[in-house]
Amino acid sequence: METLAKLFTATPNTEEINLQHCQLHSLDPLLPLLKQFQELRHLNISQNGLSSLPLEMGQLTRLVALDISNNPFPSLQQVIPVLQTLPALKSLSVSFVLPTDQDYVLKALPKLRILNAAPLPFTRLSTPSRLPDMAKPIGSLLPAVRDHVQNVSSILSVLKSIGNPVEPHSEEDLRITRMFEHQVELAGMTLKQDGSVSPEQQTAALLQAKFKILTATTTLATQKAGECNPELGLAIQTLIYLHHELITSYHALTQSLLDQAPKDVEPAQLKQLLEVAEGLETDLQESTTALAIEKKKSASLQEENLRLRHQLGDNRPRSPMLYGTESKAARVHPPPPPPPVVAQKQQTKRPPQLPLVLVKKDKSIRDNNAPRVAPKQDNLSELKPVAMSSPVPNAVKNLTLKQLRDMIQAIYVSKRKADEMAIENRAAKETMEQHMYTYLNQRFGLHSLIVEYASAIMKGCTRFMKMDADVATFFHVIRNEVDEGFLRLKNKLEETVVALLRAFLRGLHPRKSEAAVNQMVNSKLSDQTYLTEEEWHSVVKYMYDTHDSHSIIRLVETHLSQDEPSNDANTLPFSSFRKILLSYQMHGRLRMLDDFCRYFEQVDTEKVGIITQQSLVDLMLRYTPYKTQDEMESIVQQADPLGNDAITFSEAVEVLFKDIRSHRVQQGVHGGP
């Protein structure tokens, strides 16, 4: 009991418990502890002194595998009623006393799939009419593959119960069964013979048929393994790939032997070899089709996002790289200068449509030769937001600043998790704009609420971005004017400021305890006490070079003279100091990315913040024409390592960041990275 209690404290979600050789004579004292393991699926109580099982074991509703072997049960008739109360039991290990015990267990527990570590016979797991239907296409060689079909079918039945169980007679169950029957039919066609064949040809056909039947379970096995553990699913998928690679090598060897065979090779032998090759090609085509289906499923959520954007009045055309081949449409704007070696693509016009509600993003078309005017750094009051061009309906919800900040933070957290899942599943990442709709869809579900809150977020951004640097940052990230990498830089900046402030206070008060210093820091961070001029001046001087530190000091002094003219001591709330630093960093980032944004918009014809690999090459030909072809190929590989042909604005900035900084240095731009 003490061991179970410690195990529950350490890992309450464990799925497997082994109580073998624990000298147990009754489970009654342990059952209350076992019931606390909500995820318990495998229980081993073999090699003990148990003579009975408590009826309360039926409360272990998720128990799939149970080992009660080598226990002195008087008879199985006393144990079976308890086992019948376990709803999820699929695997059982038990010691038989009488010759009739096995038949008794099979009749009493019809849901069992594995008995004493052996898959149960196919005829027991399937309906009587199922086997004759599958037997028809097998032909005269059915006895040679019947056992193999039974074993594979037993494995298929076990797989259905793993992870998210497939309900019997459900649509998914029928789909899996039909796929298996179809594979058996293909195997039967491979085994058909016309005339006399050699024993070697018969063996080759038999092995090929068994292989085709076995491959019917690989997709489901990978899926179920991924449901239990994503890393396990990826490992099994890799093993299956290597398995197919070996079969392909076998095919190449067969072809080589065929080429070296005598000229008078019999037509029947040649036909058999060709059938084996065609079978392997069929397997490859089916795998390609399955991969296309998975990609279609992964794009369904992006399709939903697109539909929601249309409801918000965002009438931009659909991107062919995400949604297949469709007629392209683009907004009419002055044609960009053509790249050195890539011809400009012809774009078609589309009639303008009226927005339904607040539009998330409506960038004005930039002149290719005129630089974007950046706000000055000398005065915070000049850091004005870009006004949204679409009107805001009166019905749009008004969010408070706290509600808006909480919503933005929740979107950031959800986006980080979505990016991690995209990497695990080898899928393309979403832009921050796309994920905002994804998050609202997951949180609210109802289209009316999604539209209402998406409009409210954008309305809140235009309302509060002048007074709150975090809101302004989110606004520019959503518009693909600042990359998502800046969010990491922002967090690092805040951590550095706090660390420098703590170090300054510790040096100023060397005799105070660490707890007292932390209390002083927290008091300043919460604006209970203000930063002295010496404190904020020291932080700025330490963090920035001479030019940037002078600019920030002028901003602070301007803020003090305008907002707090009676403050002769030049003390400053930490919240105001943080806003000045973040605004300075953000507008420095905006100026640094200004030229790059113009070039990116030229190749982002769909205006969704996502470009193809070819578009990235076109971008480099315009923005970095000095790069070699090998360098461009390497950058494309870094930006899209999984080959999804979908590269976000932030990913493009990340792989070309050194070149962007180089442009910034050449132009003499200051104001933070």
Q: What is the pLDDT of residue 22?
A: 87
Is 673 in contact with 588 (CB distance < 8 Å)? yes
The C-alpha angle with vertex 542 and arms to 538 and 543, in degrees rounded to 5, equals 120
Tell me the pLDDT band of 255, cut-offs 50, 70 and 90.
low
The predicted structure's pLDDT at residue 288: 78
Least confident window among 118-122, 209-213, 386-390: 386-390
Most confident of 96-110, 234-248, 351-365, 529-543: 529-543
Do residues 650 and 545 share a domain? no
The pLDDT of residue 279 = 73
Distance (Å, whole) CA 59 – CA 63: 9
**Residues 218, 176: Cα–Cα separation, whole Å:** 12
Measured CA to CA in angstroms, residue 332 lies from 164, 214, 316, 599, 606 at distances of 50, 55, 12, 17, 12
Spatial contact of 155 and 119, defined as CB atoms under 8 Å apart: yes
* Contacts within 8 Å (CB) and 24+ apart, 234-238: 234/424
In a domain, 368, yes or no: no
| Domain edge (last residue) among 120, 153, 178 | 120
pLDDT of 512 above 80: yes
Using CA atoms, how far residue 640 sits from 610, 643, 648, in Å, is 12, 5, 9
**Which of these ranges, 360-374, 437-451, 611-625, has the smallest mean pLDDT?**
360-374
Which of the residue ranges 142-146, 226-230, 378-382, 595-599 has the most confident prediction, judged by mean pLDDT? Answer: 595-599
Do residues 511 and 645 share a domain? no
pLDDT, the chain, mean: 76
Q: How confident is the model at residue 373 (pLDDT cuts 50, 70, 90)?
A: very low
3-state SS assignment for residue 672: coil
- CB-based contacts of 106: which residues, under 8 Å, 6+ apart? 112, 115, 120, 124
pLDDT at 312: 54
Of the given ranges (354-363, 511-520, 540-549), which has the lowest mean pLDDT? 354-363
What average pLDDT does range 85-108 have in this prediction? 86
Question: Does 429 map to a domain?
Answer: no
- Give mean pLDDT, residues 389-393: 40
| Sheet strands side by side (includes 118-119) | 16-18, 42-44, 65-67, 91-93, 114-115, 118-119
Looking up tokens 């019947």 gives 146
The gap from C-alpha 663 to its chain's centroid, in whole angstroms, comes to 34
> Residue 366: which residues within 8 A CB-CB, separation 6 or more?
372, 598, 601
Task: Tell whether 529 and 613 lie within a shared domain.
Answer: no
pLDDT at position 215 is: 75
Query: CA 434 → CA 63, 305, 602, 609, distances in Å?
Result: 41, 6, 20, 9
Q: Which pLDDT tens digit goes with each residue over 263-316?
A: 454 566 666 666 777 777 777 777 778 777 766 765 665 676 666 656 555 544
Q: What percent of the chain has a predicted confidence (pLDDT) above 90?
A: 24
Return the pLDDT at 448. Answer: 82
Identity at 97, one-letter amino acid code: V
Q: In what helix (H) or strand (E) does residue 533 lie, and over which residues does it extend? A: helix 533-543
Residue 115, pLDDT above cutoff 90: no
What is the reported pLDDT for 130? 40
Look at the block and give the residue holding tokens 């018969």: 202
Q: What confidence tier does 371 reach under pLDDT thresholds 50, 70, 90?
A: very low
Given this model, what pLDDT does residue 259 score?
53
265 and 138 together in one domain: yes
- What DSSP state is assigned to residue 610? E
Domain span at residue 650?
331-352+593-673
53 and 99 belong to one structural domain: yes
pLDDT at residue 324 is higher than 80? no
Query: What pLDDT score was predicted for residue 350?
Result: 40
Residue 586 and residue 597 in one domain: no
Q: Read off the pLDDT of each residue in 93-103 and give the average, rounded to a whole number.
A: 85
Is 437 inside a domain boundary? no
Q: Is residue 342 part of a domain?
A: yes
DSSP H helices, 229-311, are 230-260, 267-298, 300-311
Confidence of residue 213 (pLDDT cuts 50, 70, 90): confident
| φ, ψ (nearest 5 deg) of residue 256 | -65, -45
Can you list the pairs that 332-335 forms with residues at least 24 positions away whose Cβ atoms lie under 8 Å?
333/365, 334/365, 334/367, 334/368
The three-class DSSP label of residue 607 is coil
Q: What is the mean predicted confidence (pLDDT) over 568-579?
A: 86
- CA-to-CA distance for 119 and 600, rounded, in angstroms? 58
Q: Which of these ranges, 219-228, 415-424, 552-561, has the smallest mean pLDDT?
A: 219-228
What is the DSSP code (8-state) at residue 216?
A: G
How far apart are alpha carbons 139 and 142 in whole angstroms? 6
Residues 336 and 254 both lie in one domain: no
Report the CATH number that the domain containing residue 102 is assigned in CATH: 3.80.10.10
Question: Measured between alpha carbons, how far is 539 from 534 in angstroms, rounded to an integer?
Answer: 9
pLDDT at position 430, please?
92
Position 473 pLDDT exceeds 90: yes
Does one domain contain both 501 and 580? yes
What average pLDDT does the segment 390-397 reach?
A: 54
Q: Is residue 446 a part of any domain in this protein?
A: no
Residues 510 and 578 in one domain: yes
In a shared domain, residues 172 and 293: yes
Could you tell me which residues are beta bridge partners of residue 66?
Answer: 43, 92
pLDDT of residue 306: 65
pLDDT (0 to 100) of residue 129: 35
Domain boundary at 71, 88, 120, which? 120
Alpha-carbon distance 256 to 184, whole Å?
A: 29
Q: Examine residue 285 and state whether it is found in any structural domain, yes or no.
A: yes
Question: Which is more confident, 604 or 279?
Answer: 604
Residue-level pLDDT at 29: 87
Q: For residues 558 and 570, give the distance between their C-alpha atoms in angstroms, rounded to a whole number.
A: 11
Q: Domain holding 660: CATH number?
A: 1.10.238.10
Residue 119, phi then psi, degrees to nearest 5: -60, 140
pLDDT of residue 189: 66
Residue type, 80: I
Do 101 and 231 share a structural domain? Answer: no
Q: In the chain, how many domains are there?
A: 4
Assess whether pLDDT exceeds 50 at residue 123: no
> Contact, 149 vs 210, CB < 8 A?
no
pLDDT in tens, 12-38: 888 889 888 888 888 888 888 888 888
Residue 647 — pLDDT band, cuts 50, 70, 90? very high
- Nearest-5° angle of CA 510, CA 512, CA 514? 100
Q: What is the tens place of the pLDDT at every residue in 64-87?
A: 889 999 999 888 888 888 898 898
Domain end marker among 561, 592, 623: 592
Quick one: pLDDT at residue 380? Answer: 38
Average pLDDT for 345-349? 39
Tracing tokens 């190749």 back to the chain, one arrives at 603
Residue among 364, 548, 585, 582 at smallest CA distance from 467: 582
476 within some domain: no
Q: Is residue 471 part of a domain?
A: no
| Residue-wise pLDDT tens digits, 157-175 | 788 888 788 888 888 888 8
Provide the pLDDT confidence category of residue 216 given band limits of 50, 70 and 90. Answer: confident
pLDDT surpasses 50 at 411: yes
Structure confidence at residue 597 (pLDDT):
92
Residues 504 and 545 in one domain: yes
